[in-house]
Structure 1
């Protein structure tokens, strides 16, 4: 879009709109690339990644980890829910995790978070 803004479009308002759209897509791609995956197992606990900074959830802070499954637009959707102390509640989709939430739950169980 940014290239076509400079080379193809000849009117000023069209260039401006196409330029704004191109910059918006580049920013969206950068933020999306930075934000995934959002959950990592570390020796200290679970590292929950965000766009600007990450949060560390220690084992003692985690109340429960579970899978929620529901139907949406004819498809079955799974979400991984992490309930932590201090009214912190995290929901991760397949898009956030980069894989199936059931696989992530299995990895968390193997790492010793099953009793949480």
Structure 2
């Protein structure tokens, strides 16, 4: 994320200094803008999950949503193999039939550790 921002800034400088190559200037400028947008949006979106004042706060790209214990039906870990390695996802099933799927990238930590923290806070307890 920080690397993408730094690379975007370097490409931005390259856009300004490539005076003799207009097509290259446009391509480098587009790459710079893309990297900077990616860096800013990644910074905004992570981490997506936090426990604040007894409620679970889920932050998406554009809005933030608060979930109380009664709003959560089930929290579980799913594991599968992908490109030769094991991938874990944290799934949160809400009472209004929404499924939030969060990866390690989204959480900023291992999903198992996040599940342990949610269990300690009383969010991932078994529900009838």
Q: TM > 0.5 between the two?
A: yes
Q: Return the alpha-carbon distance in structure 2 between the equivalents of residues 52 and 44 of structure 1.
A: 23
Q: Return the alpha-carbon distance in structure 1 between the equivalents of residues 68 and 124 of structure 2.
A: 14
Q: Return the alpha-carbon distance in structure 2 between the equivalents of residues 60 and 16 of structure 1.
A: 52
User: Which structure 1 segments of 5+ residues have no match?
Assistant: none
Change in CA separation of 1:41 and 1:20 when aligned onto 2, cut-off 3 Å: same
Larger helix proportion, structure 1 or 2? 2
For normalisation by structure 1, the TM-score amounts to: 0.94
Corresponding residue number in structure 2 for 1:23:
33
User: Which structure 2 segments of 5+ residues have no match?
Assistant: 1-10
Tell me, yes or no, if the aligned pair for 2:18 and 2:24 is still in contact at 8 Å.
Answer: no
1:49-69 C-alpha deviation (Å, 9 max, x unpaired) = 012211111110100000001
* Deviation (angstroms), 1:9: 5.5
For normalisation by structure 2, the TM-score amounts to: 0.86
Q: How many residues align?
A: 116
From 17, 20, 24, the equivalent of 1:14 is 24
Corresponding residue number in structure 2 for 1:106:
116
> Equivalent residues in 2 for 1:34-113 (5 A)?
34-113=44-123
* Over 4 Å off, 4+ runs: none
